[in-house]
């Protein structure tokens, strides 16, 4: 197995570090149950159940502003023939809340499913 060790990866001119402009990694991610059991996470300090289909996650390290890109996904449950929706609400640099439901109802209905989230943006 080969190993590469470097102190600095320089730009083409050799005058400074290389700029990685087309790369982005998640700054936080979460997989949890609505009983607030965290299955796996990164940069998440806690999860709170706010009621049927609603939750809140608190970040360990805050984002640079209140509007990072948040992706949601529901897992499991009996929604195989319906459209599932997720809405981020009450965002700040250190937390976000969400509502989840499906197209058969106008209220939050996805209370028994695991939920996954990923957060993209800049840390403070």
Q: Could you tell me if residue 105 is inside a domain?
A: yes
Q: How far apart are the first and last CA of the chain?
A: 37
User: For the chain, how many structural domains are there in total?
Assistant: 1
How many Cα atoms sit within 13 Å of 40 on the Cβ side? 3
Which residue range is the domain that position 108 belongs to? Answer: 28-120
This prediction has a pTM of: 0.74
Q: Could you tell me if residue 75 is inside a domain?
A: yes
Judged against a pLDDT cut of 90, whether residue 60 lies above it is answered with: yes
Q: Give the per-residue pLDDT at 46.
A: 94
Q: Could you tell me if residue 68 is inside a domain?
A: yes
Mean pLDDT computed over 40-60:
91
Mean pLDDT computed over 74-96:
77
Q: Could you tell me if residue 21 is inside a domain?
A: no
Q: Could you tell me if residue 60 is inside a domain?
A: yes
Q: Give the per-residue pLDDT at 112.
A: 58
Q: Give the per-residue pLDDT at 63.
A: 96
Mean pLDDT computed over 23-34:
88
CB-based contact 93:28 (threshold 8 Å): no
């Amino acid at each position: 197995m080969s190993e590469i060790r470097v102190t600095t990866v320089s730009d083409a001119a050799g005058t400074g570090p290389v700029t990685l402009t087309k790369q982005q990694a998640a700054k936080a991610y979460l997989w949890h149950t609505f009983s607030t059991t965290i299955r796996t996470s990164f940069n998440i300090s806690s999860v709170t159940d706010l009621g049927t289909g609603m939750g809140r996650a608190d970040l360990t390290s805050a984002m640079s502003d209140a509007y990072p890109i948040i992706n949601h996904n529901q897992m499991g449950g009996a929604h195989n023939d319906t459209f599932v929706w997720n809405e981020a609400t009450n965002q700040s640099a250190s937390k976000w809340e969400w509502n989840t439901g499906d197209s058969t109802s106008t209220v939050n209905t996805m209370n028994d499913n695991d939920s996954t989230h990923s957060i993209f943006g800049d840390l403070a």
